[in-house]
Amino acid sequence: MIIAIDGPAASGKGTLARRLAAHFGLPHLDTGLLYRATARALIDQGRDLADREAAIWAARGLALTDFDEQALRSRDMSEAASVVAAIPEVRAALVETQRRFAHRPGGALLDGRDIGTTICPDAACKIFVTASEDARATRRALELRARGEKVDYAAVLEDIRRRDARDSTRAAAPLRPAADAVVLDTTKLDVEAAFRAALAIVEAAAPSFRSAAG
């Protein structure tokens, strides 16, 4: 079974994806890391993030073992990833990597922004996780502060708004719920309540699918 989880930045989709993957014993891919790693490669090479050819080559050269996840989760890398993700050829270069991961025996869980619409339109379960801008900005600010980064809430909120606009208006695979996705608003939910709600959605979509515990 393939579970697709999409949603905007700081909506809680990553936390839910990790929890659900562990619950069902599924391999998990945070597809946003692919775009962050592509951006990181460009920065390391001294390239402009808008350098289309360099970005395409960087995306094609990625391996799923290349990631230093901690280093890729900074605020700056989030913004950089959004820039390269808007390049259609970069997205095209990463499509097959994601689909191979998704269609491994036994299934998989992927989270991102176009899993249910583009990468795995045949997924058995699709969840679109969302939350208000203020809630997402607060979560992202707390996350960054916990990593020791200096945080300006107004700047974080502006980042959220800018990324939402870029992701939802790009020509290739814009951020939007799949027609058959269940929308889960986590604005007023804590982590446990959001997990229970997401679990209920998966179990309703695929009643025969069992957790890793049995």
What pLDDT is stored for residue 66 in this prediction? Answer: 59
Query: 148 versus 192: which is more confidently predicted?
Result: 192
In a domain, 207, yes or no: no
CB 178 within 8 A of CB 128: yes
CB 26 within 8 A of CB 125: no
What is d(CA 41, CA 51) in angstroms, rounded to the nearest whole number? 12
Q: How many domains does the chain have?
A: 1
What residue ranges in the chain does DSSP mark as E strands? 2-6, 28-30, 108-112, 125-130, 182-185
- Whether residue 209 lies inside any domain: the answer is no
pLDDT at 213 over 90: no
Give domain status of residue 208, yes or no: no
- Give the pLDDT confidence score for residue 75 in this predicted structure: 76
Which residues form the domain of 30?
A: 2-202
Mean local confidence (pLDDT), 67-91 = 85
pLDDT of residue 72: 87
Q: How far is CA 22 from CA 18, 162, 181, in A?
A: 6, 32, 21
- Note the maximum CA span of the chain: 50
Q: Tell whether the torsion through CA atoms of 66, 102, 75 and 20 is positive or negative.
A: negative
Structure confidence by residue, pLDDT tens digits, 97-107: 999 999 999 99
Q: What is the pLDDT of residue 212?
A: 66
- Mean pLDDT, rounded, of the chain: 92
210: in domain: no
* Residue 211, in any domain of the structure: no
Counting residues of the chain whose pLDDT is more than 90, the rounded percentage is 76
Degrees, nearest 5: CA angle 204-205-210: 75
The arithmetic mean of pLDDT across residues 7-13, rounded, is 94
Q: Is residue 128 included in any domain, yes or no? A: yes
CA 212 to chain centre: 23
Q: Within a domain: residue 86?
A: yes
Q: What is the pLDDT of residues 137-147, one digit of tens each?
A: 999 999 889 98
CATH number at residue 48: 3.40.50.300
